[in-house]
């Protein structure tokens, strides 16, 4: 197997799923080169429904060059309402053209403002605010420029073999006589890794903080986040983090001085340092109090990133041992496909699982081949039950190496996690159109929510994750 990029190995991604040479190339040369459209899972009531029962206006916004949080702030400011009254289902990249859902509480359709580089369409009313993940998935249309387009066909064929088990690629093409739309996309599969951005694109330390938290190492968790300089950071930031590391080794640390040196843009680091300066005693409770200075969603993200890192390691270990991702072996925990997913979207339902044992292994393998089931691995938490057989050996070996067990996630406040399971294989249909005269190619595909476009793109480009 082809080894992953060195930066990817820092987050548990050890291998590519195909051995073909990469295309290289550039993404997001313009926002239009990266288009993302949410596959919606909401069914709103009509616009004239009683706003007392359905107080949230549901809108579809197509944004060009907008960060999701920045757009929500701009929208709330234009409406003169609290930012907390604007919600969305998924966060999208700024350097893209994105089509996504927002809910806005307590306004009428005619109140919506005009905003530059944004088209807003009113869909109706809903009875609650949108929650993160209130979407079935995302559809992507991506152009890769300045690329060596020669390997595209070979990469697609190799990834197809991971689904079909060999032979020439089978295209998902309907007959013109049967009334269906012709679709030249090809089924492909890649490991369902958590993408590099899950851990911090330029400074991947989020999972390291979470691992420290799970082990009860509150001091080390704070210092991993606030200190611990990375070469990719600006010189001023590196110097500030190095000063933090120096103070951590001192018998009389100067947290006030560390706070003064930390750049203003690093507000989370500054919040932690402020609490260290105010608390002063440096007990475990003080260090935990410092870590809790960040927003609750970031507290959860620390632990989620640790779970994601362990998951990536488990997937990589399966590949290292030659265990398949596309079909189960004895002891695997298999989940079924979501029966309510939009047509053509391979979406796992991890609430419906079954252990593959004895004769059920072959039965579940047939379900997996047809896209009706998926092999899973744990996002470990307090309620995690590990697999049996060799899959369970893999899971235990990785957790032992990390010094973790399910009970470690019985943590206070937002750090607590019960865990879940996640499909180890990401399956989709890819349309790959090559433009050799322009040294470019286009990829189109759809992914379920929670999966990363970069884990497919990396198989084509084989570039640094920083460039994805």
At 359 the three-state DSSP class reads coil
**CA pair distance 69, 265, nearest whole angstrom:** 16
What sign results for the dihedral spanned by CA atoms 121, 124, 127, 133?
Answer: negative
At 175 the three-state DSSP class reads coil
From residue 117, alpha-carbon distances to 35, 73, 94 in Å are 14, 15, 12
**CA pair distance 58, 275, nearest whole angstrom:** 39
Of all helices (H) and strands (E), which one includes residue 456? helix 454-461
Cβ atoms of residues 183 and 172 within 8 Å: yes
State the chain's maximal CA–CA distance in angstroms.
Answer: 80
Cβ atoms of residues 363 and 307 within 8 Å: no
Q: Which of 43, 50, 67, 93 is catalytic?
A: 93
Beta bridge partners of 100: 61
The CA angle 7-38-455, to the nearest 5 degrees, is: 20
From residue 290, alpha-carbon distances to 4, 237, 241, 302 in Å are 36, 20, 16, 14
Pairing of strands 97-105, 86-88: antiparallel
Nearest Cα to Cα of residue 450 among 430, 422, 431, 427:
422
Determine whether 433 is an active site residue. no
Residues annotated catalytic, as ranges = 93
């Amino acid at each position: 197997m082809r080894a992953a990029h060195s930066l990817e190995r820092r987050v548990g991604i050890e291998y590519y799923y195909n051995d073909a040479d990469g295309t290289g190339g550039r993404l997001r040369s313009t926002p239009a080169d990266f288009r993302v459209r949410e596959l919606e899972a909401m069914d709103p009531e009509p616009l004239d429904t009683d706003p007392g029962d359905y107080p949230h206006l549901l809108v579809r916004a197509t944004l060009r060059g907008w960060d999701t949080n920045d757009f929500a702030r701009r929208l709330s400011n234009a409406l003169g309402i609290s930012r907390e009254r604007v919600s969305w289902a998924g966060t999208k990249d700024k350097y893209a053209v994105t089509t996504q859902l927002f809910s806005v509480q307590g306004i009428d359709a005619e109140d919506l403002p005009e905003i530059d580089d944004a088209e807003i369409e009113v869909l109706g009313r809903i009875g609650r605010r949108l929650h993160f993940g209130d979407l079935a998935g995302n559809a992507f249309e991506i152009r890769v420029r300045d690329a060596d387009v020669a390997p595209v066909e070979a990469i697609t064929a190799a990834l197809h073999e991971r689904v079909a088990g060999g032979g020439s690629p089978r295209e998902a093409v309907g007959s013109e006589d049967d009334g269906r739309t012709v679709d030249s996309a090809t089924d492909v599969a890649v490991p369902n890794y958590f993408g590099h951005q899950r851990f911090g694109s330029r400074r991947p330390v989020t999972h390291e903080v979470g691992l420290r938290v799970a082990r009860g190492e509150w001091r080390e968790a704070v210092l991993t986040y606030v200190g611990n300089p990375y070469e990719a950071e600006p010189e001023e930031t590196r110097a500030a983090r190095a000063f933090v590391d120096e103070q951590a080794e001192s018998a009389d640390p100067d947290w006030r001085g560390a706070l003064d040196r930390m750049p203003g843009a690093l507000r989370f680091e500054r919040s932690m340092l402020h609490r260290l300066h105010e608390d002063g005693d440096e007990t475990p409770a003080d260090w935990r109090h410092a870590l809790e200075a960040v927003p609750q969603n970031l507290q959860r993200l620390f632990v989620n990133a640790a779970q994601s890192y362990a998951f990536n390691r488990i997937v990589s270990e399966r590949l290292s041992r030659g265990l398949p991702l596309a079909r189960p072996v004895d002891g695997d925990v298999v989940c079924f496909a979501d029966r309510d997913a939009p047509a053509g979207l391979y979406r796992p339902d991890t609430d419906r699982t079954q252990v593959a044992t004895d004769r059920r292994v072959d039965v579940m393998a047939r379900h997996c081949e047809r896209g009706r089931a998926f092999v899973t691995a744990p996002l470990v938490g307090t309620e995690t039950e590990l697999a049996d057989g060799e899959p369970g050996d893999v899971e235990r070996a990785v957790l032992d190496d990390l010094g973790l067990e399910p009970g470690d996630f019985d943590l206070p406040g937002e750090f607590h996690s019960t865990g879940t399971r996640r499909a180890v294989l990401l399956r989709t249909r890819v349309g790959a159109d090559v433009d050799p005269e322009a040294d470019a190619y286009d990829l189109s595909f759809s992914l379920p929510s929670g999966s990363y476009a970069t884990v497919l793109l990396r198989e084509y480009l084989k570039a640094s994750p920083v460039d994805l």
